[in-house]
Structure 1
Amino acid sequence: MTGGQIQDEDISASSQWSESTAARYGRLDFDDGDGAWCPDVMTESDNLKEFLQIDLRSLHFVTLVGTQGRHADGVGNEFAQRYRIKYSRDGSRWVSWRDRKGRQIIEGNRNAYDIVLKDLEPPIIARFVRFMPMTDPSMIVCMRVELYGCEWLDGLVSYSAPVGQQMAFQDQHVYLNDTVYDGAVGYSMTEGLGQLTDGTWGLDDFTQSQVYGVWPGYDYVGWTNASFPSGAVEMTFEFDRIRNFTSMKVHCNNMYTSGVRIFRQVMCYFRSESDWEPKPVSFRPRVDNISPSARFVTVALGNHMASAIRCRFAFSDAWMMFSEIAFQSDTAAYNTSLVPRKHGHPANTQPGDDPTHKVDDSNTRILIGCLVAIIVILLAIIIIILWRQVWQKMLEKASRRMLDDELTARLSVQREALTSHHSSLSSDVESHSTYERIFPLGSDYQEPSRLLRKLPEFQATENLVIETASSNSSQICGTSDVPHYAEADIMSQQDAPSSPSYSVTAVNVPLPPERDRALEEFPREQLTFKEKLGEGQFGEVHLCEAEGIQDFVKEDFSGAGDKPILVAVKTLREDADKNARNDFLKEIRIISRLRDPNIIRLLAVCVESDPLCMITEYMQNGDLNQFLSCHQLQDKASEQRNTTISLNDLISMATQIASGMKYLSSLNFVHRDLATRNCLVGENNTIKISDFGMSRNLYRGDYYRIQGRAVLPIRWMSWESILLGKFTMASDVWAFGVTLWETLTLCKEQPYSQLSDEQVIENTGEFFRDQSKQVYLAQPTCCPDPIYRLMISCWRRNAKERPTFQEIHSTLLEYQQA
């Protein structure tokens, strides 16, 4: 309305107060005419005869509306206190909008000036929208309106299906009906749209909901197999025209432990004119008995031309539940954009008649615009490349003194972290100053969470070519940001030592000869799901019980005998792209050849069918961060209890971490995300290093998102990793110092908890300048001076002056034996 996409002739009304308050003046924030649309005098507060109607010319997905009164620069004071909305997809059948709790009346304005926005929950899919004011009959009503949304490119105008049913589950009633369906509802639902097209996807647990204050099962429409003798649910989808269909995406629940699974098979029939085609498209999704997560199942429709689709979904268990269904079709042959009417168009055209809704055959302007845009983009890319090259050369050649003059940033924070012990180990720190960003972070940072990063100088015994993975995101009138899955890749740094970016190259991985063999396929039916440990963009990590894995790997596990043992199962989503699949398989190939008592071990794989899985050890005490946070330090005078832990135990755990990192460094591998969250605890406080931390929601706060792309554990990272993008074994030593600090504080607080993420980045600039203004982590209460000196040495500015993991391990062993 405000932007002018909707023409005056597309705005109509039931009546008008005067010619200067006609419907065309009902645009939000416009003051033409007398400043608003004003209907004829209303006689009753519930009069629904008066309305302002907007023709969007095609189906739109409307999520938000705005209203405003008429003030006419202080002359008027008319507004609608309340209103209702009706909408139509064909111009003949009108539906009253209602919210998710059935209420139809929308609270409007309280004065003539302010704009009031209202989220339409659920959103509406319509071509025609009517605003119907409701107010005190003694008041004169005027309105200005706006609609927010996007074109509905699916073209779906209705779906018909059996009514959702009720489920008795764990002493509660789960209502699986389509609550917001806007068609006729009886034994079945016909000629309407509802929750299957509202853009809200159900959670993994169908008893939980994305919407606050509703009943269990609200997000899903579900049916029980017992009610359908044929063993299938039939749904019919009607579209605005004949379309070329490529695929259908169905969001299904898969809580198979509760008798709910994705459909076993779907058969789709197509109708282009009046008759249904006899030969259907049939699709069987892969059976997944490992992950109970809800997921989208993509059904290929083979480019069939149709205006209606009828699908029969066959049950694979007692219940079947859907929360969203979307179609992808070829829209190239049809222009669904708003096309301005010709000025001579008659004003009395009926809503169903639209002679100007045609495709614009004049492509000259579009072609010229595209060419100009391409030229501008190419010029911008060239300028950016040249600028980056100049900047990199300046950074390489600039002396430290020049950087000190240019990069002036002072840290403002209480220096309470520097205790009396610390003052003997580092210089004094100023107490108050202000922040300025020292220099920008590169937009091409790679994610640093991957276990086993290879250094470029090591010689080869095996070549692996690594490709970066990309992801596509589904969106409805917007975008969604999802957490990154820790897919494996091995990045080598570029030859330029100060380059802030990484090159994707072939790297050479030394492999211990005793593990130079492929892992065998483990029967996935012998895995029993226990709980989800974490999830990300491309996969998930599950805690499972593995039956018979002792015989499979030909060894016993901690005297478990023939009992199932707990394992961690990392899976790759079925819809992951080729690059992600290759990275996953390469991660399996490398980790399978690592063998050290303090490195998590890969036991088996499931790669003959989707979803791809790698099965690793899982320590029964969970990760070190959660384990220590549940303990207290054992006092010398107190008795040892299950909830206490001694200083010697803490030093022993740190020694084991150093031993594992010594093994990785001997192979020239770089972990890049060493922290207590990535260390697992077993019997007798055995420690093994893993890499699950990033995929767990529990530790999402430990990672900082740079420009919406890279996700970095900045509180554990060295200054050169944050500012220059350099990851080496020396940067792992820095992270070990922070991990040692975590261990000796029993993970009671986050490192640099008194600093925000931005302040942590600024503090790394102080380490770079080395002007005695940097803030160190304070000495833990129980930490002996020699151990704290070891910590401080891990955080030296010069990476070459930091101790090696061999030296760290020796120092900790000597302290234990002293």
Structure 2
Amino acid sequence: MLFVLLLVFQLETNAQIDPAHCRYPLGMEDGRIKDHDITASSQWYETTGPQYARLNREEGDGAWCPAGLLQPSDTQYLQVDLGQLTFLTVVGTQGRYARNSGNEFARMYRLNYSRDGLLWKSWKNRLGDKIMKANDNSYASVIKDLHPPVISRFIRLIPVTQVPNTVCMRVELYGCPWHDGLISYSSPEGQQMYSSPGYPIVSLNDSTYDGVHERRKLSGGLGQLTDGVIGQDDFLVTRQYHVWQGYDYVGWKNGSLGSGHVEMEFVFDKQRNFTSMKVHCNNMFQSGVKIFSSVSCSFKPRLLANWEAEPAEFHTVLDDRNPSARYVTVPLGRRTAKALRCRFTFADMWMMFSEISFQSVFNSSPSATNPSVEGQPDNGNTPVLIGCLVTIILLLVVIIFLILRCQYVCKVLEKVGLPCYERTRSRHHFLCLATALLLLSKASKPRNCQSLSPSACGGGYAEPDVTQCTPHQCFHNSVPHYAETDIVSLQGVTGSNMYAVPALTVDSLTRKDISVAEFPRHRLFFREKLGEGQFGEVHLCEAEGLPEFLGEGAPLPDRDGRSVLVAVKQLRADATNNARNDFLKEIKIMSRLNDPNIIQLLCVCVSSDPLCMVTEYMENGDLNMFLSQREMESTLTHANNIPSVSLSDLLHMSVQISSGMRYLASLNFVHRDLATRNCLLDRRLTIKIADFGMSRNLYSSDYYRIQGRAVLPIRWMAWESILLGKFTTASDVWAFGVTLWEIFTLCKEQPYSLLSDEQVIENTGEFFRNQGRQIFLFPPPLCPSSLFELMMRCWDRDIADRPTFEGLYQALRPHVALISVILGRNMVS
């Protein structure tokens, strides 16, 4: 039963696609895609057939080669059946090298795709181009991102040439399963918003829709509402370059459709039980845009059936205070259907969507899989029930074996000096079991290196043996008491992380230890919601008269006459007494911090409910967003006014972060969530380390959620934090090394971006076993070799061998001075 629940949980949580992380090899290279699933329009010889079109493989004569010289007018193709609907994001190609005996490759290719094998569509990028650049030689692989991505089961790669030529190809496809199951949606076409004269027209059309566009109606395809790109709060701001304003949203004007609603139909690959629908809506009400006021969804069990009479209806709570875009979750009551028709009712002049997804599971009932037998008695259930009982018995045997195994290994660990506390032993056994079952659910998957670059994997990647799952190799929501720190709670009541501090320090703090003043809450004006937790929220606010209130020496940026932005953590009215006490503890902890590179508590509002704490907020936002929108400084960036940063800037940022962490370490405070998302930046590139990145939906993919509750930043965590629950200054040093890696990649990708969360966890097991099979982050191209060596020291397996923050600060400062001299810049560290 637990196995089934874990599997259902996995299906439902994976329904939301993130193109930045959906980049796993689909099986050409490692053989998961079988030979019979790879076909072609022709082949030169038997030894250059389609089955040899596997990236980095040299079987046969080394690649697939179509027959004869390829002509410019030819449409020879290599076809791959992925076996299921797949969200395809990347294509990798090579030519025929054949151990240095071949020199044929495709310089260009087109991509066709089909969801059913019958209707084929041509891929084109966001600017309308259909041809992708491929290879310049026969041996190097070329990786191309698909913008927009493709949702399909069948893929055809069609080599293109401008002159008659011989071509050969090897291929890998990258993406992830499309668990939504949605194969098409129909809707009215998006419309144009006409603003004031002299301003550009805002086009809110579905520009990547791959279905039929006829009579102002879209039908039979998918487009921007399923591409994984979430629109921003301001619908005029886009996430893509060189596109028009409003590109990320599809929008309609109230009254233009002859009714007060927008009707959409959704068709799925098979009959499903629907839990909910998530619709990402814009709510920029100052411009007449709001989320829908209500929605009514009808269900159709089969495509040829009638719509069921009783729809599912949902009324939203409209918000005229918070202009942030947000997901609206519409409960669908576990209704069974293969098609849905939803009518979204306008709440204002405009309604805009950027993404729609569904949470569902397959309906495997006999009536769902074979409609012709509806109404007939089912006399074949007995074998199924027997099979279920046998499965349950086998699972119980496995559970008993794993519990006994965990007990045995725990005793072995204690003999070699690793702690295994009695009071946490039973909890560890249960969680070890849960982790083992999750691994068992993946046991049928081939073991492969989930990386675009095989060399980055140290020669291969092996999943750990399930029987080696020890109590210390499993996640747990709370952790044992360690001498170094008392882990109060990883996540605070507002969703932000809480600093870990020595237990006696927290217990000895009293109300008089709060050295900040009470601020009039009516002088705080809401701007946007930054994040939220179980019992609280983090808001971006303007604080009226705050500099005068704080007086001389206040840690506020140069305002130039503008309002002061602050972050306000607020406890919600439904908070428990424990949450209230934790919130006051957090205030006490924050009130002790006073460093130029640490976000400071400015004032509080605790004389009445809701309780609030007011901290600094930097106008340039967080470092992750700042760097990801910039390129390295060069003549090209200067000539084209492209936002850029220099190597000296990056080093200056690194020194400041090390300085702030040096201060925390001097107080025996452990941050536990150091990353670029938790570093705020002002106009002068001054860094202040913050603590509320965990609460922000923008960075939800950076955290691993444990059974729907606690979240952990596993890609930044030291192995002992993941396996032993041990958070110390040394584990913060590990996270600092990952933060340096982020900085010198300009935050263009997530750490271990080609590994799933489960594989990141398994990789920490390799650190535990210490057999030399650990996967490390690759050196950033912009990073000096001496600095990467410093990162590697931060990731040392032995805690005692990692540098201190004082040592890191002293090691980084000379880098800044050297680069500053070279560039003739006067940087202050």
TM-score (norm 2): 0.54
Shift in Å at residue 566 of structure 1?
8.2
Out of 274-283 and 67-76, give the one that drifted further: 67-76
The residue number in structure 2 matching 1:304 is: 335
**Mapped contact 1:567–1:616 kept (Cα < 8 A):** no
The residue number in structure 1 matching 2:203 is: 175
The residue number in structure 2 matching 1:530 is: 527
Shift in Å at residue 309 of structure 1?
0.8
The residue number in structure 2 matching 1:295 is: 326
Match 1:204 to one of 228, 233, 243 = 233
Deviations 1:591-613 (A, max 9, x none): 89999999755437999xxxxx7
Any unmatched runs of 5+ in structure 2? Answer: 1-27, 367-383, 421-471, 478-484, 552-562, 595-600, 623-666, 679-687, 700-711, 719-726, 733-786, 814-829
Shift in Å at residue 694 of structure 1?
6.6
Show the 5 A alignment for 1:238-637.
Answer: 238-273=267-302, 274-331=305-362, 333=364, 379=405, 383=409, 387=413, 391=417, 469=491, 485-486=495-496, 493=503, 528-530=525-527, 535=531, 541-544=538-541, 570=568, 585-587=580-582, 601-603=603-605, 614-616=611-613
User: Would you tell me which structure has more helix in proportion to its own residues?
Assistant: 2
Shift in Å at residue 168 of structure 1?
4.0
Provide the secondary structure at the position in 1 that maps to 2:36: helix
Deviations 1:258-284 (A, max 9, x none): 332222211111111211112111122
Counterpart of 1:199, as a letter, is G
Work out the CA distance in 2 between the residues paired with 1:84 and 1:160: 27
The residue number in structure 1 matching 2:51 is: 24
**Mapped contact 1:591–1:602 kept (Cα < 8 A):** no
TM-aligned CA distance change 1:724 to 1:160, over 3 Å: closer
Q: Highest Rg: 1 or 2?
A: 1
**Mapped contact 2:94–2:139 kept (Cα < 8 A):** yes
Work out the CA distance in 1 between the residues paired with 2:134 and 2:296: 47
Work out the CA distance in 1 between the residues paired with 2:175 and 2:149: 9
Shift in Å at residue 75 of structure 1?
3.7
Provide the secondary structure at the position in 2 that maps to 1:268: strand
User: Given the alignment of the two structures, is residue 218 of structure 1 paired with residue 247 of structure 2, yes or no?
Assistant: yes
**Mapped contact 2:794–2:802 kept (Cα < 8 A):** no
TM-aligned CA distance change 1:706 to 1:32, over 3 Å: closer
Counterpart of 1:94, as a letter, is W
Q: How many residues align?
A: 553
Out of 314-323 and 153-162, give the one that drifted further: 314-323
Provide the secondary structure at the position in 1 that maps to 2:348: coil
Deviations 1:515-560 (A, max 9, x none): 9xxx9x999xx9853366x55787763344699xxxxxxxx999xx
Deviations 1:329-375 (A, max 9, x none): 1137499xxxxxxxxxxxxxxxxxxxxxxx9x999999979976995
TM-aligned CA distance change 1:383 to 1:134, over 3 Å: same
Work out the CA distance in 2 between the residues paired with 1:255 and 1:606: 31
TM-aligned CA distance change 1:383 to 1:172, over 3 Å: farther
Work out the CA distance in 2 between the residues paired with 1:176 and 1:771: 53
The residue number in structure 2 matching 1:184 is: 212
Shift in Å at residue 147 of structure 1?
1.6
Work out the CA distance in 2 between the residues paired with 1:595 and 1:765: 28
Counterpart of 2:212, as a letter, is A
**Mapped contact 1:82–1:105 kept (Cα < 8 A):** yes
Shift in Å at residue 177 of structure 1?
1.4
The residue number in structure 2 matching 1:743 is: none
Shift in Å at residue 42 of structure 1?
4.5
Work out the CA distance in 2 between the residues paired with 1:208 and 1:493: 46
Shift in Å at residue 312 of structure 1?
1.3
The residue number in structure 2 matching 1:9 is: 36
**Mapped contact 1:568–1:616 kept (Cα < 8 A):** no
Provide the secondary structure at the position in 2 that maps to 1:123: strand
Work out the CA distance in 2 between the residues paired with 1:466 and 1:253: 37
Work out the CA distance in 2 between the residues paired with 1:67 and 1:320: 41
How large is the RMSD of aligned CA atoms in angstroms? 6.0
Work out the CA distance in 2 between the residues paired with 1:179 and 1:167: 15
**Mapped contact 1:722–1:761 kept (Cα < 8 A):** no
TM-aligned CA distance change 1:124 to 1:371, over 3 Å: farther
The residue number in structure 1 matching 2:153 is: 127
Identity of aligned residues (%): 39
Shift in Å at residue 706 of structure 1?
8.3
Work out the CA distance in 2 between the residues paired with 1:95 and 1:773: 54
**Mapped contact 1:488–1:584 kept (Cα < 8 A):** no
Work out the CA distance in 2 between the residues paired with 1:369 and 1:74: 52
Work out the CA distance in 2 between the residues paired with 1:470 and 1:388: 32
Shift in Å at residue 287 of structure 1?
2.9
Work out the CA distance in 2 between the residues paired with 1:620 and 1:21: 61
Work out the CA distance in 2 between the residues paired with 1:26 and 1:296: 42
User: Given the alignment of the two structures, is residue 40 of structure 1 paired with residue 97 of structure 2, yes or no?
Assistant: no
**Mapped contact 1:572–1:581 kept (Cα < 8 A):** no
The residue number in structure 2 matching 1:400 is: none
Deviations 1:397-438 (A, max 9, x none): xxxxxxxxxxxxxxxxxxxxxxxxxxxxxxxxxxxxxxxxxx
Shift in Å at residue 134 of structure 1?
1.2
Shift in Å at residue 121 of structure 1?
1.6
Shift in Å at residue 212 of structure 1?
2.5
Provide the secondary structure at the position in 2 that maps to 1:708: helix
Shift in Å at residue 672 of structure 1?
7.0
The residue number in structure 2 matching 1:59 is: 85
Shift in Å at residue 151 of structure 1?
1.8
Work out the CA distance in 2 between the residues paired with 1:511 and 1:320: 50
**Mapped contact 1:522–1:606 kept (Cα < 8 A):** no
The residue number in structure 2 matching 1:810 is: none
Deviations 1:746-792 (A, max 9, x none): xxxxxxx9997888999x979999999996999xxxxxxxxxxxxxx
**Mapped contact 2:43–2:49 kept (Cα < 8 A):** yes
The residue number in structure 1 matching 2:173 is: 147
Match 2:729 to one of 716, 722, 734 = 722
The residue number in structure 1 matching 2:143 is: 117
The residue number in structure 2 matching 1:420 is: none
Shift in Å at residue 245 of structure 1?
0.7
Shift in Å at residue 41 of structure 1?
2.4
Provide the secondary structure at the position in 2 that maps to 1:72: coil
The residue number in structure 1 matching 2:375 is: none
**Mapped contact 2:502–2:668 kept (Cα < 8 A):** no
User: Given the alignment of the two structures, is residue 72 of structure 1 paired with residue 98 of structure 2, yes or no?
Assistant: yes
Match 2:192 to one of 157, 163, 166 = 166
Show the 5 A alignment for 1:629-668.
Answer: none
Provide the secondary structure at the position in 2 that maps to 1:293: coil
Shift in Å at residue 128 of structure 1?
1.2
Shift in Å at residue 324 of structure 1?
1.2
The residue number in structure 2 matching 1:98 is: 124
Deviations 1:273-325 (A, max 9, x none): 21111211112233334433222222111100000011111222222221111
Shift in Å at residue 586 of structure 1?
4.4
TM-aligned CA distance change 1:258 to 1:755, over 3 Å: farther
Show the 5 A alignment for 1:613-762.
Answer: 614-616=611-613, 708=715, 722-723=729-730
Work out the CA distance in 2 between the residues paired with 1:226 and 1:313: 13
Deviations 1:625-662 (A, max 9, x none): 9xxxxxxxxxxxxxxxxxxxxxxxxxxxxxxxxxxxxx
**Mapped contact 2:501–2:670 kept (Cα < 8 A):** no
**Mapped contact 1:239–1:308 kept (Cα < 8 A):** yes
Shift in Å at residue 201 of structure 1?
1.4
Counterpart of 1:16, as a letter, is Q
